[in-house]
Structure 1
Amino acid sequence: MPLIKPFAALRPTAGHAGDVAAPPYDVISAAEARRMVVDRPWSFLHVSRAEVDLPADSDPYAPAVYAKSRENLERMRRAGILRADPVAGYYLYRMSSGHHSQTGLVGVASLAAYASHRIKRHELTRPRKEDDRVRQIEALAAQTGPVLLAYRARPELDDLIARLAADTVPESEVTTADGVSHALWPVFDHDQMATLTHALEALPALYIADGHHRCAAAARVAQQRRQANPSDTGAEPYHFVLSVLFSHEQMRILDYNRVVRDLHGLDVATFIRRISVIFDIVGAPGPVRPTRAGEFGMYLAGHWYRLTLPPERIPFDDPVGRLDVSLLQDHLIGPILGIQDPRSDERIDFVGGVRGLEALAQRVETGEMAVAFSLFPTAMDALMAVADAGELMPPKSTWFEPKLADGLVSHLFDAPRQDP
């Protein structure tokens, strides 16, 4: 089986991309999702977060939610808002935000390659979230949230995608509520598709940037369906996962910052003294945005501080240990604040850099949190080094921006049918 192959996408029909496009299901709260669907009957949140159409106290993991997702997807198809392409193709996908723009390719990636670690992960998944995506995929017989994949930049593939994008006008283009422009256009020409498949097959590896739960859930669904299908060939649609690929040089990672609810029984003065044993600490006149690895900002008791970890404390030969998220955890959050497992400890929370440093200070000023930390963003090279070493990054190490939109392309398991 090829690493990546074309597929017949379910897409918004002409003029409806703006009605459908929605943020990824997992970057907004239930309350935010409910607000975002007001007066938007065709928002894809009715599929990806179908609890918005059920009572506010509904369990988001209840069977009724997945049944409603299926109902809403079918409703959008019957109304002619979504339609399946009659033939398979690749799709060019461009995201633009401010001065940043990246153009990649939508296809379906081999789950056999994921099982053999040619598609590499760098995070653990949470069972409950993975189970949720399994039930969603099975309810819809489709994958509706793409996995974000990166590949090490290859001029021949990068140039090919750039040429194809330059030669045609996007078939749909929409600007979402966060100000990001999403443009999509198909590649149905057989020669162009063959050239793309050949170039993609030459890639030694792909890296999951975002979507570990979607990929793991897709693999579970494939395994279950293979076991239930005596005539399984390995080529069925469920053996592939909906993906968007970008060159690693185009990807943009923002900081993923931390806020902690209390000082673990310490007063402010003692807390600062404990920190100063390990870090160089100086006061700052305003918000601190770290400018290099090993440097951190801290907001505490109405003041900003700059923390710098001496180089001799950084294990440069350890791809996980040298990450800034690891350095802060290993030298401060764990030993001083007593949070040993940030994946499960409810005293810590995480704030994506897209929300700005002001959001960190606000969480402290309201009294919700006691201290906030700003971090230098993880580099793509660092992510790939961890994945290549077969290691796992700490939770909430990367915040990719801009985010892919949900609803612009979906991957159906059933054969394309004639939609209205």
Structure 2
Amino acid sequence: MAIVKPFKAVRAKRDKAALVSSKSYEVYTPEMLNSKLAFNPYTFLHVINPGYKYHKQDITGELRFKLVHNRYLEFKEDEIFFQDELPGFYIYQKITATNSFCGIISATSVEDYHNDVIKKHEGTLKERELLFENYLKNTGFNAEPVLLTYPDNDDISSIIKKYTKERAEYEFSSTDKTSHLLWVVNDKKDVAKIEQGFKEVDTLYIADGHHRSTSSCLLADRLAKENPNHTGKEAYNFFMSYLLPESQLSIYEFNRFIKDLNGLTPHEFLIELDTIFRIENRKQELYKPKEKHHFSMYLNGEFYALYLRKSLYNFTDSLSRLDAQILYTTVLKPILGIEDIRNDSKIVYSQDKSDSLELKTKVDSGEFKVSFGMLPTTISELKEIVDAGLLMPPKTTYIEPKLRSALTIYEF
């Protein structure tokens, strides 16, 4: 039974929503960031890049976090932001050239995270957890929701359909030719229906935002200990999430690029691979796998198809059947000597959504010796691994939608 709650969002007025909301801070190059800051006084980037006001953008640590809070207060004082009077849910639809996503922004429960109702599929880095916990403590808000997915539910879908037939509170397009629509759900009966609908959902799966959710839970635990009158109903016991039906989730793969062959020549490397894979030389054909446990490889100017010799591989659990794990246990670790696939500088990852030719071009450039491609992980694989209490290797999934910051803000 998942606990989701309505909340009084802080958000931009209708006429400024397109100007205020932004992509995640991390996707902007320095040039793009400076351009946005210079020409748009309303962008939320001014809040999370507070040093720009003083022509000093290298402010870090707790001082930066406190200045973020100050800029946030200024946006409220200047009435760029206002807070809804009634608690509600927010239906957000994102429409791209290839996909349409429509889900519900809500407050989700730290208790559910601790009780494994909200489940994760990736490990997190303690340093980043603590850094973001400190950020949350100093700023006092969530501006970018955690992406959670759940099995499709007819009752929840019917409420979404009811509202999306009406005029949206926000309706605008961003410069990447994406449409954004937001509906406010504050009718008490519909709010209750949404809450009840999610009580019928046994599990919510974190699709994107593992560090944000973990950090929110760390902060909630800390504040609970510091509060002698803690009840469990305080705002810090929840974090903002975007709840999306699993049928709408898009999962793409990450390609692997390796900088050296661990002392082997290309021919010696192929011979090593032959012990666990049946190998076909596809020469200049841009080969992409068509089945699970098949891999594409680009080496020394040619494409190869690698087919796992299943009789020689030990399938023990759902994780061992995952292509990313198979590549790690059969090639990356034993042959190429890459044990720490998160931090080893010999391996680089690139999501394969837009440029399949990268497998070839990055190796041909001389920067890498070999590249590997595979099929995307399915939502069924992800859930099976998570439900078994296991974690997937880093950079196994590139998941969409990627969510904007400051469409709605959750204060605690």
What is the TM-score of this pair, normalised by structure 1?
A: 0.91
The residue number in structure 2 matching 1:232 is 230
Q: Give the counterpart letter for 1:89 in structure 2.
A: G
- Retained in 1: the 8 A contact 2:260–2:369? yes
Counterpart secondary structure, 2:131: helix
Letter in 1 for 2:229: S
Question: 2:47 matched to 1:47?
Answer: yes
Letter in 1 for 2:84: D
Counterpart of 1:283 in structure 2 is: 281
Which residue in 2 is equivalent to 1:20?
Answer: 20
Secondary structure of 2:85 counterpart: coil
Q: 1:345 to 1:57 in 2, by over 3 A?
A: farther
Equivalent residue pairs, number: 411
Counterpart AA for 1:83: F
Secondary structure in 2 aligned to 1:221? helix
Q: How does 1:131-142 map to 2 (within 5 A)?
A: 131-142=130-141
Alignment partner, residue 129 of structure 2: 130
Q: Quick one: distance in 2 between partners of 1:184 and 1:399?
A: 24
**Equivalent in the alignment of 2:10:** 10
- How big is the shift at 1:290? 2.3
**What per-residue deviation string (whole Å, max 9, x for no partner) do you get for residues 168-219 of structure 1?**
2221133334433222111011111111111111111111111110000000
CA contact (8 A) 1:251 1:400 kept: yes
Q: CA deviation at 1:55?
A: 7.0
Matches within 5 A, 1:306-345: 306-313=305-312, 318-345=317-344
Q: Is the 8 A contact 1:23 1:406 kept in 2?
A: yes
Aligned to 1:260: 258
Q: Please give the secondary structure, in 1, of the residue aligned with 2:134.
A: helix
Tell me whether 1:64 sits opposite 2:63 in the alignment. yes
Does 2:242 match 1:241? no
Q: How does 1:186-225 map to 2 (within 5 A)?
A: 186-225=184-223
CA contact (8 A) 2:2 2:117 kept: no
In 2, Cα distance between equivalents of 1:290 and 1:246: 28
Contact residue 62 and residue 138 of structure 2 kept, 8 A? no
Structure 1 window deviating more from structure 2 (261-270 vs 102-111): it is: 261-270
Matches of 2:350 and 2:203 in 1, distance apart?
A: 30
Aligned residue number for residue 346 of structure 2: 347
Q: Does 1:109 align with 2:84?
A: no
Distance apart, 1:163 and its partner CA: 2.9
Q: Secondary structure at the match of 1:357?
A: coil
Q: Is the CA contact (8 Å cut-off) linking 2:9 and 2:410 kept in structure 1?
A: yes
Asked if the contact 1:22–1:176 (Cα under 8 Å) also holds between the matched residues in 2, the reply is no
One-letter amino acid matched to 2:322 = L
Change (3 A) 1:52 1:283: farther
Change (3 A) 1:252 1:120: same
Report the equivalent of 1:377.
376
1:81 deviation in Å?
Answer: 2.1
Deviates more, 1:76-85 or 1:380-389: 76-85
Would you say the 8 A contact 1:386–1:392 is kept in 2?
Answer: yes
Runs (5+) with no aligned partner, structure 2? none
Give secondary structure in 1 for the equivalent of 2:152: coil
- Give, in angstroms, the shift of residue 26 of structure 1: 4.3
Is the CA contact 1:12–1:20 (under 8 Å) kept in the aligned structure 2? yes
Mean CA deviation greater in 48-57 or 290-299: 48-57
Aligned residue in 2 for 1:417 = none
**Cα distance, 1:48 vs structure 2:** 4.1
Residue pair 1:342, 1:348 contacting (<8 A) in 2 also: yes
Q: Displacement of 1:269 after TM fit?
A: 1.9
* Secondary structure in 2 matching 1:94: strand
SS in 1 for 2:14: coil
Deviation track 1:126-174 (CA, whole Å, cap 9, x = no partner) reads: 11221221122112111122110011122232233223323x2221133
Q: State the 1:31 CA deviation.
A: 6.3
2-structure distance, mates of 1:121, 1:5: 20
Distance 1:103 1:57, change over 3 A: closer
TM-score by length of 2: 0.92
Unaligned segments of structure 1, at least 5 residues:
414-420
After superposition, give the CA deviation of every residue in 1:271-309 in whole Å (9 maximum; x if it has no partner). 222222222222333433322211222222333222222
